[in-house]
């Protein structure tokens, strides 16, 4: 068996002595994370320009809601990096949502969607969203269809996006178009440049934060291309989360979907790209600042109390996950004209 000394010697033999310590660290980071790649289309869910154009219009269009006031972009605003900055979202007729709105940026990279992971893809999520009582509030898809048909221009856009279909205005196709649009909403960050070998793209303090993130063990849940979004985990492994977050209501997590006691307080691990831009934090929006979210995570999930210096450097690392807003999202489209039909 190799002793630690043996491994150190082996590394010295295998790695040329000219290798920079920074490069070695980069190799280590590359084992846990992958840089963003431009390709998020799948065979089942292609990204065609006509689909994306339609999806973008539907995303920003409030005329598709029960009372004409709510679009996807109300709770997933460009200026707030795809969130609404509220602890919990508010939908039609000021109906409260039970949970915080996560960002839609890079959302397509995750293995499932929603805090409970009860949506299989961005397409599935978008199609169902139109009937959400606390979001769009439509009673059925027939009423959404009537609203779409009342807007001059949508029918032509649907025909272009689904050329082989006779009656393409369906709930599933709305989901497909919006999903294709969401698959284009990726935000390459300085950390991606770093992972690709440009070690100068992270400041020294951000690299120190990355080291902490690996050594403290955050990476065991927040790794991969999205720094999370790949599994379900209990929130509050070492003690109950509401003791520390001060949450007034206790959310049973995936238990509400599966009824399995093993899923009590289990949530999808969120991806951390752009996390600096998307307060407040956690499924209930109970924590207002990133340093506090980091401290609580270490305490609740790992059982460690972090020093202020550790927290400070991790904030700098997480800042380096902020990318530029995609052009097709930063500026809302001009919507096709047409009248809003009352309920």
Window 170-209: residues binding ligand HEC (CB under 6 A): 178
Q: Which of 105, 218, 225, 315 contacts ligand HEC by CB under 6 A?
A: 218
Nearer to ligand HEC, 45 or 116 (CB): 116
Q: Which of 26, 54, 107, 148 contacts ligand HEC by CB under 6 A?
A: 107
Residue 2 C-beta: closest distance to ligand HEC, Å: 28
Work out whether 99 is an interface residue with ligand HEC (CB under 6 A). Answer: yes
| Residue 109 to residues 39, 41, 137, 229, 273, Cα–Cα distance (Å) | 10, 10, 27, 7, 11
Q: Is the peptide bond preceding residue 307 cis, with omega within 30 degrees of 0?
A: no
Window 231-250: residues binding ligand HEC (CB under 6 A): 233, 235, 237
Binding piece for ligand HEC, criterion CB under 6 A, among 33-41, 145-153, 184-192, 220-228: 220-228
**Binding string, residues 255-274; x marks residues near ligand HEC by CB under 6 A:** ------------x-xx-x--
Sign (positive or negative) of CA dihedral 103, 109, 113, 117: negative
Residue 232 C-beta: closest distance to ligand HEC, Å: 7
- As a whole number of angstroms, the distance between CA 273 and CA 226 comes to 6
Binding piece for ligand HEC, criterion CB under 6 A, among 1-9, 17-25, 34-42, 68-76: 68-76
Contact residues for ligand HEC (CB under 6 A)?
A: 59, 70, 72, 74-76, 89, 91, 97, 99, 101-102, 104, 107, 110, 113-116, 122, 125-126, 129-130, 135, 178, 216-218, 220-222, 233, 235, 237, 267, 269-270, 272, 275, 278, 281-283, 293-294, 297-298, 301-302, 314
């Amino acid at each position: 068996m190799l002793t630690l000394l043996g491994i150190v010697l082996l590394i010295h033999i295998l790695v040329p002595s000219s290798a920079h310590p920074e490069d070695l660290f980069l190799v280590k980071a590359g084992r846990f994370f992958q840089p963003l790649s431009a390709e998020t289309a799948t065979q089942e869910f292609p990204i065609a320009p006509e689909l994306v154009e339609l999806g973008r219009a539907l995303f920003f269009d409030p005329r598709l809601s029960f009372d004409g006031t709510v679009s996807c972009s109300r709770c997933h605003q460009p200026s707030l990096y795809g969130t609404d900055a509220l602890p919990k979202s508010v939908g039609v007729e000021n109906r409260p949502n039970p949970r915080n709105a996560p960002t839609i940026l890079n959302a397509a990279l995750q293995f499932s969607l929603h805090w409970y992971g009860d949506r299989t893809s961005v397409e599935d999520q978008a199609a169902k969203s139109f009937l959400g009582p606390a979001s769009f509030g439509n009673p059925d898809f027939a009423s959404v269809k009537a609203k779409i048909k009342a807007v001059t221009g949508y029918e032509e856009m649907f025909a272009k996006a689904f050329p082989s279909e006779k009656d393409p205005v369906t709930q599933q196709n709305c989901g497909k178009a919006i999903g294709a649009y969401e698959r284009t909403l990726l935000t390459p960050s300085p950390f991606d440049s770093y992972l690709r070998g440009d070690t100068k793209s992270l400041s020294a303090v951000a690299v120190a934060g990355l080291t902490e993130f690996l050594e403290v063990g955050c990476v065991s849940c927040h790794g991969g291309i999205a720094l999370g979004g790949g599994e379900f985990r209990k929130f509050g492994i070492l003690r109950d989360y509401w003791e520390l977050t001060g949450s007034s209501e206790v959310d049973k997590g995936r238990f509400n979907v599966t009824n399995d006691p093993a899923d009590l307080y289990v949530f999808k691990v969120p991806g951390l790209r752009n996390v600096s831009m998307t307060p407040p934090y956690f499924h209930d929006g109970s924590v207002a600042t990133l340093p506090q979210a980091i401290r609580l995570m270490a305490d609740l999930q790992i059982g460690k109390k972090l020093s202020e210096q550790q927290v400070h450097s991790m904030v700098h690392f997480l800042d380096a996950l902020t990318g530029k807003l995609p052009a097709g999202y930063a500026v809302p489209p001009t919507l096709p004209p047409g009248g809003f039909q009352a309920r």
